[in-house]
Chains A and B, each alone.
Chain A
């Protein structure tokens, strides 16, 4: 059990800057994120895309912004819990007991939800029968590539994950790659390599096809694919892999008793607290009159939510406003020597 002042859900820019503000006012926090890296949408969706509306930064990429925010909170040495998701939140004697998917437990007076539009999950096949084989022979990620040795593997998708795995698995498996159109969005060199492997008959390639059904009783036996002209084909398969990118889902957040309006959480604009005492929501996931889904708004929301956390984390102390330019206490916290 980890005791902390604040648990932040979401390591995107808003969550990171809120952590900074908590550090500045002398509070401790722990940060949980479903992704395997820090940065949220900035790093997952647009690491290379320039952003032009961060105050005082004329232009930066999602990755640069993330790196700078990480640098900014370094003095506080907060813990990150990545590739994990908060699953359960319940009230215990005026504190929040929090449990993650991986079984980590926290006890905290404050939770700040900076979850963007939810956690990233792989997009799954639309075919209902796929659920029956999920985690056994219908997969959306590869954890152990040795299971595919000498097997028939059918891979769907047109991005780098699909291409890279098709290339890698073609060494030891019988690989079929299927994509809905002729163009691939993966790296040109990988596309080139796939075409080469196709010529060498090491990868079978079907474009303009998508999944229609999967067949098999206890074990997966085959996958049926269709094109838009209505033709279908059946391909023998031991494994089916789908790489269609990530979707964002609110997931367990819906079950914590919070008010939800159109996939967002209403908050007050004084400290961004939700309808639950000690649970705050900031960034894209919160809503209030005039809400703008901008990173800069998330920064402001995080700064105020941090002050909101103070009264529950230090009920016997009075919060005192201080500037980073002048306060010795604050400078001490960020390790600046005078």
Chain B
């Protein structure tokens, strides 16, 4: 279990407990947190669960999946702190993770 904080583009914060093994995307969707669309449902076939992760957390995350950067090319305003939240699996180590949501997904 990890506490994860999702910060919307407007600054509104949502802190929820997400069970180990779920993805950061699923944590948002299951808790009705707006700002993550996840159109493809976690298949890494779209880029609508895009989040920004600041440096202090970025390097602690599991590495990017093969092809994740290719999908991120197709996200809304990606940068070097971008991740697809469907590719971040929650574990105890991620307790306290903060992710920032982009202005929009599509």
Contact = CB atoms under 8 A, between A and B. Distances in A.
B80 A185 contact: no
B73 A244 contact: yes
Interface residues of A, number: 26
A158 interface: yes
A183 B46 contact: no
A117 interface: yes
A111 to B, nearest CB: 22
Interface in B40-62: 40-41, 43, 45-48
B73 A245 contact: yes
Contacts of B70: 158-159, 185
A126 B73 contact: no
Contacts of B93: none
A248 B39 contact: yes
A246 B74 CA distance: 8
A41 B37 contact: no
B73 A185 contact: yes
Interface residues of B, number: 19
A126 B39 contact: no
A245 B37 contact: no
Interface in A46-61: 46
A45 B46 contact: yes
B74 A244 contact: yes
Contacts of A158: 70, 73
Nearest to A116: B39
B79 to A, nearest CB: 6
A263 B37 contact: yes
Given A185-B70, A228-B80, A247 B41 contact: no
Interface string A153-180: 0000111000000000000000000011
A74 interface: no
Contacts, number: 56
Contacts of A263: 37, 39
Residue picked from B41, B47, B73, B106, most chain A C-beta under 10 Å: B73
A123 interface: yes
A249 interface: yes
B60 to A, nearest CB: 20
B49 to A, nearest CB: 13
Contacts of A245: 47, 73-74
B40 A117 contact: yes
Interface in A202-249: 210, 228, 244-249
Given A117-B40, A245-B73, A180 B78 contact: yes
A37 interface: no
Interface string B7-44: 00000000000000000000000000000010111010
A210 B76 CA distance: 11
A181 B69 contact: yes
A293 interface: yes
Nearest to B29: A262
B73 A159 contact: yes
Given A181-B80, A245-B74, 19 more contacts: A41-B40, A45-B40, A45-B43, A45-B45, A46-B45, A117-B40, A117-B46, A123-B76, A126-B76, A159-B74, A180-B79, A181-B69, A181-B73, A185-B69, A185-B73, A228-B79, A244-B73, A247-B48, A249-B106
14 contacts: A45-B46, A46-B45, A117-B40, A123-B74, A123-B106, A126-B77, A183-B69, A185-B69, A210-B77, A228-B79, A244-B74, A246-B74, A247-B106, A249-B106
A-B pairs, 10 with minimum CB distance: A245-B74, A185-B70, A45-B45, A117-B39, A247-B106, A158-B73, A244-B74, A293-B41, A126-B77, A248-B39
